[in-house]
């Protein structure tokens, strides 16, 4: 799993570092955040020490009710060798017992002026994005009418040339050749471009072209949710290809399933137009309009009517 450090969180949210500066390079390995109210009450049977510890007004008000001995004891138990850090919300005063324990265990203590609930939401979203599962796939990602279409296929099948034609038709390129994918949630895959090849397109015989320079900033985007995968393959005469589109195929990428369409490639087929139509048809299906099912229902009705007339 990709790790970030407490220092990155400090810089991202402009937090005030109160104590424990020696531990700012501690890794953060989970997007879950703990509010240690039970631990302050003395219950440490299940203490998620590897999480960021967020202390709000409710935890602070309870902590003030404890005796001095209990405060020192609880804070020393909270500050472990694996704890990434403590964040005090709403600019509340940091207890001296926490500062002492953090300096002893080298656990960073930070403070933010934001309210607890708001900061919790923003920090969770940030951590989920940074700690999401990632992978890389050979292909081209294009935004077509708002649908993120991942074009895959063997090298030389025509992926980049098809992407170039799609860009000329007004669609937006995300990345060519290598697609970096992060899974922010189940069935929520976000594709982006490696920094080295961002906005670049490789056309055999022509070389590397910069899409943003040639077609403008409106022809590219930095990332896009992947909703549809179109696999290009050389036409095989011995293979039966889907003519109606009733059977929807899926491809699994990490823990997510994405709709997949296989398109045979042969001279004379305008792949850019076909992929463009596939994206529009995908949107219609999401809206509940399935042309293949409508045709199948009409065909079944026509057959039934004809059988009735024969009888």
| Residue-wise DSSP of 60-115 | HHHHTTS-HHHHHHHHHHH--TT---EEE-TTPPPPHHHHHHHHHHT--EEE-SS-
Please indicate, yes or no, whether residues 92 and 241 belong to a single structural domain of this protein: no
Please indicate, yes or no, whether residues 44 and 31 belong to a single structural domain of this protein: yes
Please indicate, yes or no, whether residues 24 and 152 belong to a single structural domain of this protein: no
| pLDDT tens per residue across span 180-198 | 999 887 788 999 999 999 9
The number of domains in the chain is 2
What was the pLDDT predicted at 245?
A: 67
Please indicate, yes or no, whether residues 228 and 284 belong to a single structural domain of this protein: yes
Please indicate, yes or no, whether residues 229 and 283 belong to a single structural domain of this protein: yes
Q: What is the pTM of this model?
A: 0.73
Considering the domain boundaries, does residue 300 fall inside one? no
Considering the domain boundaries, does residue 234 fall inside one? yes
Considering the domain boundaries, does residue 27 fall inside one? yes
158 is in an annotated binding site: yes
What was the pLDDT predicted at 309?
A: 72
Considering the domain boundaries, does residue 119 fall inside one? yes
Please indicate, yes or no, whether residues 111 and 188 belong to a single structural domain of this protein: no
What was the pLDDT predicted at 297?
A: 80
Question: Per DSSP, what are the bridge partners of residue 153?
Answer: 232
Residue by residue, pLDDT tens for the chain (311 residues) are 447 999 999 999 999 999 999 999 999 999 999 999 999 999 999 999 999 999 999 999 999 999 999 999 999 999 999 999 999 999 999 999 999 999 999 999 999 999 999 999 999 999 988 888 889 999 999 999 999 999 999 988 889 999 999 999 999 999 999 999 998 877 889 999 999 999 999 988 889 999 999 999 999 999 999 999 999 998 877 777 777 666 778 999 988 899 999 888 888 788 999 999 999 999 998 888 877 777 778 878 888 877 777 66
Please indicate, yes or no, whether residues 119 and 252 belong to a single structural domain of this protein: no
Considering the domain boundaries, does residue 305 fall inside one? no
* Residue 296 neighbours by CB distance under 10 Å: 14
Please indicate, yes or no, whether residues 107 and 204 belong to a single structural domain of this protein: no
146 is in an annotated binding site: no
Please indicate, yes or no, whether residues 169 and 116 belong to a single structural domain of this protein: no
308 is in an annotated binding site: no
**Domain range for 161:** 133-295
Considering the domain boundaries, does residue 302 fall inside one? no
CATH number at residue 260: 3.40.50.300
Please name the residues in contact with 3: beta carbons below 8 A apart, sequence gap of 6 or more.
Answer: 27, 28, 29, 131
Catalytic residue among 3, 115, 138, 301: 138
Select from 98, 115, 130 the last residue of a domain: 130
DSSP string, 263-274: EEE-TT--HHHH
CATH number at residue 39: 3.40.1390.20
153 is in an annotated binding site: yes
Considering the domain boundaries, does residue 138 fall inside one? yes
Catalytic residue among 177, 225, 260, 285: 177
202 is in an annotated binding site: yes
Considering the domain boundaries, does residue 223 fall inside one? yes
Is 171 labeled as catalytic in the residue annotation?
A: no
């Amino acid at each position: 799993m990709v790790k970030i450090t407490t220092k990155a969180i400090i810089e991202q949210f402009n937090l005030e570092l109160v104590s424990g500066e020696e531990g700012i390079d501690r890794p953060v390995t989970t997007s879950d955040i703990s509010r240690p109210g039970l631990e302050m009450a003395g219950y440490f049977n299940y203490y998620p020490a590897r999480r960021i510890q967020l202390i709000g007004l409710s935890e602070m008000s309870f902590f003030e009710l404890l005796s001095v001995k209990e405060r020192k004891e609880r804070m020393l138990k909270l500050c472990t060798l694996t704890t990434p850090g403590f964040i005090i919300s709403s600019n509340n005063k940091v207890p001296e017992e926490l500062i002492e324990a953090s300096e002893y265990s080298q656990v960073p203590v930070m403070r933010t002026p934001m309210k607890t609930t708001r900061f919790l939401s923003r920090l969770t979203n940030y951590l989920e994005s940074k700690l999401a599962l990632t992978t890389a796939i050979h292909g081209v990602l294009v935004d077509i009418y708002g649908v993120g279409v991942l074009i895959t296929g063997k090298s030389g099948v025509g992926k980049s040339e098809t992407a170039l034609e799609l860009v000329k038709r007004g669609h937006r390129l995300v990345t060519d050749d290598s697609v970096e994918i992060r899974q922010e949630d189940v069935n929520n895959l976000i594709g982006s471009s490696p920094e080295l090849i961002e906005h670049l397109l490789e056309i055999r015989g022509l070389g590397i072209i910069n899409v943003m320079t040639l077609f403008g900033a409106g022809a590219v985007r930095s990332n896009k949710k992947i909703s549809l995968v179109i696999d290009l393959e050389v036409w095989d005469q011995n293979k039966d290809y889907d003519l109606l589109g009733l059977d929807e195929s899926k491809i699994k990428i990490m823990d997510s399933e994405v709709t997949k369409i296989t398109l045979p490639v042969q001279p004379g087929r305008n792949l850019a137009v076909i992929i463009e139509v596939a994206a529009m048809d995908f949107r219609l299906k999401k809206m509940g309009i399935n042309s293949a099912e409508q045709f199948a229902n009409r065909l079944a009705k026509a057959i039934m009517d004809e059988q009735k007339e024969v009888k």
